[in-house]
Chains A and B, each alone.
Chain A
Amino acid sequence: MAAIEVHQISKSFGETKAVKDMSFNVNDGELFGLIGPDGAGKTTLIKILVTLQKPDSGSAKVDGQDVVSGYHHIRNIIGYMPGKFALYQDLSIEENMSFFADIFGTKIEEQMELMGDIYKQIEPFKKRKAGQLSGGMKQKLALCCALIHKPKILVLDEPTTGVDAVSRREFWDMLSHIKKQGISILVSTPYMDEAARCDRIALVQEGSIIALDTPKGIIKDFAHPIFGIKGDNNYHLIEELKNMPGLRSLYPSGEYAHLVMDDKNQSSEEIKNYAAAKTHQKIEIEPIEADIEDCFIEMMQHG
């Protein structure tokens, strides 16, 4: 049985169609990622799945129960971590956790097996008020509170937004650890580089799923030669090369600009020669492997 089944869900706010006809399944024990930029409809979809909003049309099941009629069951078995820190700022770490443990009729000590590793990291500060914690610690506290009743399914809305790179990596390690305990996880993120940590991902754009596969499967489908190119000034370089014949797309990506060509047999020499005629910059160019971001941009521009 699938942990989460989404069947043709749509939701609008006035004129804005936030979610358009989305369908996908999250399998039992799977770490599933919803990847897409801000405003793609990730949060709306998640709010429907955790029973905070009702869909306009379509249906969804979480742990076999319908999100509208079976909301009471779902609220007992999911752990939800909203995008915005939503715990009591004037209560301490310990008090926040005890409160949520009390509500679910459990105790902090009883859940050490599942969240012990995470709780240990914040335990030294357990008397500190939640409002005075750093971003990374808040995130760990929120995760602990979401896990306190040993949920079957964990739903996280952009858990790594606004967190530093080291804490982000740590956080994904924690998610892998939680997954090993048999908990199915649905996580949304705008960071394409985090997609590789998921078992399967859905790329979301303007309320629709534009690709649904394993991260490797999505990259494998990328059918065009791609090059990393670097000059003295990438911004000017992109301006100078944008009219190159046979160019599919060209965009900045970190230190390099990524350059995608139509012709499968395109060689980097040809590009180098064209560039030499167009610019005075000293350039480096080499063929690279496409990543999820390249796939996403390809699908956005040519999908």
Chain B
Amino acid sequence: MKIIFHLVKKEFLQILRSKFMIALMTGVPVIQLILLSFAANYDIKNLKVYMVDNDLSPSSRLIATTLQGSSFFDFKGYTFSQKEAFDALSKDKADIIIEIPHHFERDLVKENNASVQVLINAINNTKAGLANGYVQAVLQDVNANIRSEWKTAPQLNSTGQIEVVSVNWYNPTLDYPTLMVPGILAELLSLLTIILTALNIVKEKEIGTLEQINVTPVTKFQFILGKLLPFWVIGHIIFWTGLSVGKMVFGIPILGSLLVIEAFLSVYLFVVLGIGLFISNMAETQQQAMFVAFFFIMAFILLCGLFTPAENMPQWAQWLNIINPLYYFVEVNRLVIIKGSGLKIIAPFIGYMAIYAIGINGLAIWRYKKTT
């Protein structure tokens, strides 16, 4: 125990001396959190619309004015020329073309049925999907208005309509930072702890100090614990600094208990530190360690469900998430912070992380013994 204490003391002496490390621990997470949460945004506004109106009827003008009145659309042009609209689309001056055919209003009234052509630029499919939804909503709205105007007497055989009204629970206004801050925090924490641990151990290998330590009574187990404990503490500093920033800058509501988050965090950190340790076994130089760490971290981030819901991924990707610690942390963070889940819900996650931590650290120590 005494030896571990001396190893940890030495590690802190080195960490606190390095300005770079201190900046990495405090500045980087805060800046990243603020940048990413403000800049990355799913809300799509100002969709550029061109309308080709071949009908010029009150109904078609109603569509135009509704579009103009919406903040989601930027009404760029109102024309009779299909060619002009297509030009705008190909020059990226329009995202959406809405074409109203001849006799649109007449068909609608007489035959109770008329079609409108909507063309959407689908270079970015997320944006196109949302644009389509918005246009549909506008057209339905207009449709309802026109019907109520023209059909004064309701038809007896008209079919009843079911209207779906949705309410967003836990994040009623679909506030973006509320959704993203807990996730980005989980991502930053994992990234930094994996890289810092891996680089730190490989540095001792590279400089040769590891060899010097190996010719002392310090055992491998003591050495590794002496490395993991300081970074376990640093992981805590990064996380709680980040969460405080999230609370103060974005005012994200923290519904659940901080103790539940802490319980998960303290186990979770041993998982990411174990991954860092495992990477340090595979690398001989800090450069190599950096690349290996990036390989894992990129995969973890893209699969974890932070940017696209994990449930939409193909089955094999969802299986990969079984060993993706980030997936669990993003999930737990959101559950506790946004939904207010308690220990009962989170306990299985903690249990699984404990098994994972023992597994990955065991594997890393076993490999460590074989290679040195």
Q: Which residues of A contact B (CB under 8 A)?
A: 50-52, 72, 75-76, 78, 80, 82, 84-91, 95, 99-100, 102-105, 145
A107 to B170, CA, bound (A): 59
Candidates A50, A87, A90, A104; contact of B18 at CB < 8 Å: A90
Q: A80 and B215 in contact (CB under 8 A), knowing A86-B207, A95-B13? A: yes
Q: A103 and B14 in contact (CB under 8 A), knowing A51-B215, A76-B217, A86-B207? A: no
Which residues of chain B are near A78, meaning CB under 8 Å? 215
Chain A residue at smallest Cβ distance from B7? A103
Which residues of chain B are near A102, meaning CB under 8 Å? 3, 6, 9
Which residues of chain B are near A99, meaning CB under 8 Å? 6, 10
Question: Closest 4 CB pairs between A and B?
Answer: A86-B208, A102-B6, A80-B215, A86-B212
Which residues of chain B are near A72, meaning CB under 8 Å? 217
Q: Which residues of B contact A (CB under 8 A)?
A: 2-3, 6-7, 9-10, 13-14, 17-18, 207-209, 211-218
User: Chain A nearest CB: distance from B108 CB in Å?
Assistant: 78
6 A-B pairs in the complex with CB atoms less than 8 angstroms apart: A72-B217, A91-B14, A99-B10, A103-B216, A103-B217, A145-B212
Chain A residue at smallest Cβ distance from B3? A103
Which residues of chain A are near B217, meaning CB under 8 Å? 72, 75-76, 103-104
User: Chain A nearest CB: distance from B147 CB in Å?
Assistant: 77
User: Chain B nearest CB: distance from A26 CB in Å?
Assistant: 17
Which residues of chain B are near A87, meaning CB under 8 Å? 209, 212
CB of B209 within 8 A of CB of A86, answer yes
CB of A85 within 8 A of CB of B208, answer yes
Candidates A80, A89, A103; contact of B207 at CB < 8 Å: A89
| B interface, over-half SS | helix
| Given A95-B10, A100-B216, A105-B2, 16 new contacts (CB under 8 A) | A51-B215, A52-B211, A52-B215, A75-B214, A76-B217, A80-B215, A85-B208, A86-B207, A86-B208, A86-B212, A87-B209, A88-B209, A90-B14, A91-B10, A95-B13, A103-B218
User: Chain A nearest CB: distance from B17 CB in Å?
Assistant: 6
User: Chain B nearest CB: distance from A171 CB in Å?
Assistant: 19
CB of A103 within 8 A of CB of B215, answer no
A82 to B216, CA, bound (A): 13
A145 to B2, CA, bound (A): 19
Which residues of chain A are near B209, meaning CB under 8 Å? 86-88
Which residues of chain B are near A88, meaning CB under 8 Å? 10, 14, 209
Chain A residue at smallest Cβ distance from B5? A102
Which residues of chain B are near A105, meaning CB under 8 Å? 2
Which residues of chain B are near A84, meaning CB under 8 Å? 208
A89 to B17, CA, bound (A): 12
CB of A80 within 8 A of CB of B212, answer yes
CB of B214 within 8 A of CB of A52, answer yes
Chain A residue at smallest Cβ distance from B216? A103
A161 to B118, CA, bound (A): 79
A52 to B213, CA, bound (A): 10
A104 to B213, CA, bound (A): 11
Chain A residue at smallest Cβ distance from B215? A80
Which residues of chain A are near B3, meaning CB under 8 Å? 102-103
A76 to B211, CA, bound (A): 15
CB of B211 within 8 A of CB of A86, answer yes
A14 to B211, CA, bound (A): 22
A103 to B209, CA, bound (A): 14
A104 to B17, CA, bound (A): 24
Q: A90 and B17 in contact (CB under 8 A), knowing A75-B216, A75-B217, A99-B6? A: yes
Which residues of chain A are near B17, meaning CB under 8 Å? 90
CB of A104 within 8 A of CB of B216, answer yes
A99 to B8, CA, bound (A): 11
